[in-house]
Chains A and B, each alone.
Chain A
Amino acid sequence: MALEAEEKTRVRRGTIVPMRGNEAVAYAVKLSRARVVAAYPITPQTIIVEKIDELISKGEMDAEMIHVESEHSALAATYGAAVGGVRAFTATSSHGLMYMYEVLWWVAGSRVPVVMAVVTRAIGAPWNIHVEHSDILSTRDTGWLVAMAENNQEALDLTVMMFRVTEDPRVYLPGIVGLDGFILSHTVEPVEVPDQELVDEFLPPRRQPYTIESGAPIAMGNIIPDEAFEEHRMDMHESMREARRVIEEAGREYGKLTGRDYSGLVECYKCSDADYLFVGIGSWMGDAKIAVDALREKGLRFGALRLRWIRPFPWDELREYGLEKKAVIVLDRSISFGYAGPVFLEVSSALEAKPSMVGVLAGVGGVDVNYEDIVKIAEHVVSLVEEKGRVYVPALWYHLGEFYPMKPGPLPTRKTPRHVNKLLEELWSKKS
């Protein structure tokens, strides 16, 4: 009896295998027992579907692959399968995601759980296959849950978790797991692949609000009166908020089973006692953590707050860790042209621009940013804050070691101290 009880509470691990981020996602899809995968190739997503096809061909995975002729069809076919009552998966990047865009909305509005991986990549023109977050952040308003992995292990774990969270009746919305193109997708890291029985225990059989099939004449998606439409949207919003709790529960349970706890919508690295905070998404937050240690050695108390989830938005956590800081530096890998980076805009609204805030744009289109760059960014911001007191700079480009402040556009001027604007003007005129 004692042994049995011990067996039940013991953290069960899996097998550690070196693999690329894309393969980690493929194994997660296999472990989650997805039955239909529809996808169209695009760099850097391709390895995911190649690997899944390989697993199916070897008889290791019981699923059907639909070799569709476009991403629009990829998501539509995935959706068709999900509506038909099976777990379904697709993956894409960049232009592929843009081509899917209307289907994203349709899937979310249908309240049918579907899981997709987005391997982040720049959007053309001109062509660029490297990392950027314009693609994944464009899904922000579609009604999909959006999570972003920092490493290959998390790419696997979040994919398994996403199936459970999206299929929870309190949520019933589709979900995206993001992983950075090449930095994760094509880079080998040791990944612990959980045992099948562990995943089976974590992930209950598929649940969904309805299926389309004979014998049950349900119509999905027909025209609805405006008032009912608005209520439908209110309900989606409520479910997205409810998803917070479901994520916390699922993350905690996953932690009990694997030893890797995902109960937090954010990951906080030394941010409790920090004076300054980095905030951002994705793989470079790993470099930010190294930068935090380097800066602390220099006597600057930094911390790093990584948003693991973008939707639902970790509003409470941001305020808890961010409001009282001297300055918050938001790292953005994409830009809303003429204003600031999308993550900055989200974070800034949550923090009501109370602390000093600087939105740093860097690493766009795969330009390499390492921890030394992040240290340099930190030191620059610290000097700005020390010199000027409170600052609010929505868009400060960091490009190849140089800073390029953006001419102030539609800033929340009421809250922006005049001297900051003046400083920006000075810097701008110097640059041009």
Chain B
Amino acid sequence: MAFNIKALPKKNYIMPGNAACPGCPENIGLKFVSMALGEKATLVVPAGCTSVIQGLWPRQGTSMPVLNIVFAAAASAASGLSRALRIRGKDDIVVVWAGDGGTADIGLQALSGAAERGEDFIYICVDNEAYMNTGIQRSSLTPHGAWTTTTHRGNPGRKKPLPQIVAAHRVPYVATASIGYPWDFISKLKKAASIKGFKYIHLHAPCPVGWRFDPGLTVKIAQLAVETGAWILYEHENGKLKLNPPSNKLVDPSKRKPLEEYIKLQGRFRHLTDRDLEELKKEIEENWREITAILRAQGDL
């Protein structure tokens, strides 16, 4: 959805000096949410980093309304909240801001229920690929081979294809995004806000603490994830898939940067064997194969 950057709110909704770590991608992401949705955003936050980032009562590092809620209940609490606000004639945009664990693991059942019922809110999964708030434990969105404090020899599993799982609920809008591409993310938020029903945005959010990289590199790493094809930007609108720039030109593998450029900057992949690297590349290739197959079936490729 096209928008004029000058028309975005100037107000700072995410306060400087809040409790986020240096280089925190969630802080960056939240800032974009408030830029896109402004006064209308009403957040529902399950247990996770953002429970802490808000800061310690009585101070508050966000100037949006926030309903904190137990880990597994973000989508269900948001369902009730959004219904009540609609009943009262309010046009708030209820936004769930949940981590990968709160979405793909413990919160998946509630998410699936809300998606199937077509509840009217935006669900954002801020995917930093592990349980960072409790100290970097593996989640079902941790990529293959990655070190975490519960996978010292590298994650034996593979990243769960969550956006596809949500899209399979046939909700009106599913998109992937990255904190390295604010224009794309804000457009998607604005589009989601204009659609009635269940909207899902999966936001890739590289975490310097958990991924073991320099906090100054957060945005660069987020961009490298996209440029190497490890993270693909796309949207599913009313069942139709569309690649977004710059991922659209990366259908051609020769246009992608080598995966090693993304991997080598991250301590969590330091121990990676050649075999692990091959496995990781295979996984990424499969994601692309799936997407191109759908695009071909749609006649878009």
Contacts and interface: CB of A to CB of B under 8 A. Distances in A.
Interface of A: 35-36, 38, 64, 66-70, 72-74, 76-86, 88, 102-103, 106, 212-225, 228
B81 A212 contact: yes
B63 interface: yes
Given A84-B88, A217-B63, A223 B80 contact: no
A213 B91 CA distance: 9
A215 B91 CA distance: 11
B202 to A, nearest CB: 21
| Chain A interface main SS type | mixed
Most chain B Cβ neighbours within 10 Å, of A74, A78, A102, A223: A223
A86 B88 contact: yes
Interface string B175-201: 000000000000000000000000000
28 contacts: A35-B87, A66-B79, A66-B117, A68-B79, A72-B73, A73-B73, A73-B76, A73-B113, A79-B77, A80-B78, A80-B82, A82-B80, A84-B82, A84-B87, A85-B88, A106-B70, A213-B88, A214-B39, A214-B40, A214-B42, A214-B92, A219-B60, A219-B62, A219-B66, A220-B67, A222-B57, A222-B68, A225-B56
Contacts of A219: 54, 60, 62, 65-66, 68
B84 A80 contact: yes
Contact of A228 (B54, B57, B73, B88): B57
B271 to A, nearest CB: 34
B255 to A, nearest CB: 42
A68 B55 contact: no
Contacts of B90: 213-214
B84 A84 contact: yes
A221 B88 contact: no
A72 B110 contact: yes
Contact of A223 (B57, B65, B81, B87): B57
A198 B250 CA distance: 69
B80 A88 contact: yes
Interface residues of B, number: 46
Given A68-B76, A88-B80, A214-B90, A225 B39 contact: no
A84 B83 contact: yes
Contacts of A70: 109-110, 113
A95 to B, nearest CB: 15
A191 to B, nearest CB: 29
Contact of B80 (A67, A84, A217): A84
Contacts of A228: 57-58
Contacts of A213: 42, 65, 85, 88, 90, 92
Interface in B198-229: none
A411 to B, nearest CB: 38
Nearest to A64: B83
Nearest to B39: A214
B300 to A, nearest CB: 34
Contacts of B93: 214
B56 A72 contact: no
Contact of B70 (A36, A76, A218, A224): A76
